[in-house]
Structure 1
């Protein structure tokens, strides 16, 4: 039996991220770790893996337990290796000759084509790099598994494959998964830990059911808070009354009793916890408006790779004001190439077959937020690019979740979640009326995803969306197009596509 125990665990950075964390993860426990960006998930996972330290408390692993930790990024030094060699590298040097067969076994588990195994990681998609990271961990046959954002960059096929793998290969060991993908958490976990500064919550439930239980707990906590504050007010009024009587009558007994009542009030007040709110960068968008009915018209256009190889053809597609198009398809079918083609057309490049309304003001977000200048600071970027002024820029960044001390750091040093929030703030300041969103939720936490969805719906913005997040797609899309057999066709809903992808990986 393997287990990882946390005892009074706490983490303080510039502020308390979590404290007094006590729970045990045992065999068969698959825990979803949920918190906002920058709220300590990665640090906690690293500490559980023995690769980092917490501020307070202890983490105890059962004797002999080996922990596999899958980080978010492949080590830079390994990126020049082939996929096969990157996994082989994880084995101890003395075992690589005798145990190299393990690499093939693990890559077979993830249905890795032979041709893919000999390609360098730099030539592979982010999804395959993610599979390589997991394979590097699994080849060591760990007794417990910690996964940090494992779904980022995965297409639906690989996502379903990962779900099945966790539920089968890793079903009997302790597993902790930090993820912002709500559907993935529901499919793979049976427990949920909500990290909070004062009182974290741990439920023996998958995410959606745990979130309902959390809402009930918060409601009960708020009711108790209001009751306690009323009692504090009553005690203080009574203490003040006794103090006045005691002074007027010269009674030392009443003065002592008044002091006792004040101390009781202070003790209750200090124990009162304000209702916790999930904190995320304030994601707000806008819509500069347009009168045109047809925002974008595409006819007889081939979408190609950067070197000109045909991916699929669009016979006719009109996008109307307020449409929220979701582009579905397997990895490599051309979803991101299509978004890029439309973006270039909106930016003024000559693109035969694509007509853009003169009223279109585009806002483009790619997976890597590549438009952000890596060497600039968030404050320098916002003040220089959008002419907002120093104080206004600081306020905007603070509302987007950037503490003052982080506003002057180079963008390259920011976490992926922080870059995502900065990119979305920049898009908001452009005041677009047509959003091109290529995996916008990859590094955005759950509250941020829901706020982004609400903002797009509230403002009635037109958008084209590529996303593998099923919850986000279902909540946002109004039209759905699937790339199949080198053609783009419209469907009534995404469910058939989701079901087909799940069946292929079942």
Structure 2
């Protein structure tokens, strides 16, 4: 298989800090690679060097002749004085040329470009809308490789699903930086972790990467250190999900279950609910017979919603459906047009808005946190201001940075730290995952696991909602708050029905693929079982060969024989696993 792009001993520094240090890797035809790592660790730099947006300080970057590549980074700019249509459909002439192309129509509809208005000037768009326009402009082209930096940040849940299906259907090579873990698991077949100037490479998506990190920790750490490893808790959550149990070979599931056999559930819901009732009483926030409008649009009409102590609610809906407005109503920051809002006497409410609150710019980070409190108790955890700041992405050295020197993402994280330091018992979080890397997300989820209060979360990150919330409600455009016991999947199914009734074009990708027949499924299940048994045998052979290699350390001839046999076993294992994945994807 031909590599589209190669990096050979590439290094790149900003100031005295090396972000890439002697990195060698390649992107082959059809690769779908997710890039993960800490914020500021070099993910965007890697993408820009790989795509040719930024030069390497040393080393060599090569690309095949005639490579058709599109790049959408967080620094992508739109041409001044242009319209949405001129940017997205620049390579097309008359309207009938692109309107006759089902793929282009799907992109225009799937990313909400039609709703923005093709004649709308780009200068009037918000930052999120400009990112969607840039993404659409990249995807309409015929491509071999697309390089994307945080493409899901400004998409709603449906948009994230559409993008995943679109990339899978295109069968082009993809290199993507994202903290959306559902997207990583759905789209990516390989993972690159940028850490300490190096790039560690893993087979598989997010779940496989978590497994690899836990296994590495198991080999390198004591039992007690492992127990404190957040990645084991994350793996436990992944393995408890029905999807995880059906999307990996059986031998992998068994290995993962052995690692997490003594990890308790993420949270004790009964204990937390009991604690929350003692702290909050019976009444938390109640909306009675509410009518809520924005401009000339009615979001809610004569609606009643009572949120009780200890409830953990995920609020979903398309962009513009009124989720943030509803959160402001819950927070008491705006009045309804009719009806009333009632709040319990013991409620201490904190609201994380998408907009940045005023922060004390003259202070340093740690001082700004300690200005709220020196210590905080979150469930069973007691943390100092410095410890909580570190958990949410401010290492000790960074805690002495002046607030006015922080980036937008860091200021938002500081806003979240200050909210938690006030020990609220009701949390309203509006898109809390924006600007958080995966490790910081795990830390936030760990804090919320033991947090005994009422929680309402608005997020396009379906993994976060499924992870920290017990209930999902949606704004479906019918002027009511709809309870969704089936969670995100039920919400997406309801939206699909609504779009079909409205005459919207059918989506592309595996979501609209023809389903396998019952007979085909039975045959596939038999072959999958056979392949899983073979994988188990090969896994046992590989383990025995490793033991034999260790025992033959002083016998060069025997070492060569064993190494040849090991390569043969690994090659067969790769072929069997590839066949397993091919069949499992065909019958999903």
Query: What TM-score bracket applies, with the shorter chain setting the length?
Result: 0.7 to 0.9
Residue 431 of structure 2, aligned match among 434, 439, 459: 439
What does 1:319-338 correspond to in 2, within 5 Å? 319-338=307-326
Residue 459 of structure 1 aligns to a residue whose secondary structure is: coil
What does 1:32-181 correspond to in 2, within 5 Å? 32-72=34-74, 75=77, 78=80, 81-87=82-88, 108-110=105-107, 111=109, 112-113=113-114, 116-121=117-122, 128-139=129-140, 141-169=142-170, 171-172=171-172, 174-181=173-180
Q: Which has the higher contact order (CA 8 A, sep 6+)?
A: 1
Partner of 1:342: 330
Is 1:371–2:373 an aligned residue pair? no
Is 1:486–2:472 an aligned residue pair? no
Residue deviations 1:195-236, cap 9 Å, x none? Answer: 22166421231221232133324434559xx9xxxxxxxxxx
Residue 421 of structure 2, aligned match among 414, 421, 429: 429
Separation in 2, partners of 1:395, 1:482: 35
Is 1:382–2:379 an aligned residue pair? no
Separation in 2, partners of 1:441, 1:289: 30
Aligned residues of 1:303 and 1:313 also touching (Cα < 8 A): yes
Two-structure CA RMSD over aligned residues (Å): 3.8
C-alpha deviation, 1:73, in angstroms: 5.3
Is 1:356–2:348 an aligned residue pair? no
Structure 1 residues 399, 436: CA separation in 2 closer, same or farther (over 3 Å shift)? closer
C-alpha deviation, 1:8, in angstroms: 2.6
C-alpha deviation, 1:41, in angstroms: 0.5
Partner of 2:523: none
C-alpha deviation, 1:477, in angstroms: 1.1
Partner of 2:279: 290
Partner of 2:193: 194
Residue deviations 1:175-196, cap 9 Å, x none? Answer: 1010111111111111111222
Residue deviations 1:31-57, cap 9 Å, x none? Answer: 010112111101111111112244553
Separation in 1, partners of 2:216, 2:59: 25
C-alpha deviation, 1:372, in angstroms: 4.2
Q: Which moved more, 1:321-330 or 1:113-122?
A: 113-122
Residue deviations 1:232-257, cap 9 Å, x none? Answer: xxxxxxxxxxxxxxxxxxxxxxxxxx
Structure 1 residues 210, 103: CA separation in 2 closer, same or farther (over 3 Å shift)? farther
Partner of 1:401: 393
Residue 449 of structure 2 aligns to a residue whose secondary structure is: helix
Structure 1 residues 192, 49: CA separation in 2 closer, same or farther (over 3 Å shift)? same
Structure 1 residues 86, 34: CA separation in 2 closer, same or farther (over 3 Å shift)? same
Aligned residues of 1:313 and 1:486 also touching (Cα < 8 A): yes
Residue deviations 1:91-121, cap 9 Å, x none? Answer: 6xxx787999669967523114276222344
Q: Which moved more, 1:294-303 or 1:207-216?
A: 207-216
TM-score where L is the length of structure 2: 0.64
Aligned residues of 2:426 and 2:453 also touching (Cα < 8 A): yes
Partner of 1:299: 288
C-alpha deviation, 1:381, in angstroms: 7.8
Unaligned runs of 5+ in 2: 226-275, 376-383, 500-506, 513-588
Residue deviations 1:293-346, cap 9 Å, x none? Answer: 2211111112221x353112363221111111111222222111101222234x
Residue 338 of structure 1 aligns to a residue whose secondary structure is: helix
C-alpha deviation, 1:24, in angstroms: 1.4
Aligned residues of 2:302 and 2:339 also touching (Cα < 8 A): no
Separation in 2, partners of 1:432, 1:122: 40
How many residue pairs match? The answer is 431
Separation in 1, partners of 2:347, 2:210: 39
Aligned residues of 2:79 and 2:87 also touching (Cα < 8 A): no
Structure 1 residues 476, 493: CA separation in 2 closer, same or farther (over 3 Å shift)? farther
Residue 68 of structure 1 aligns to a residue whose secondary structure is: strand
Separation in 1, partners of 2:360, 2:114: 35
Residue deviations 1:8-65, cap 9 Å, x none? Answer: 3344556554544322111100101011211110111111111224455332222332
TM-score where L is the length of structure 1: 0.74
Residue 357 of structure 2 aligns to a residue whose secondary structure is: coil
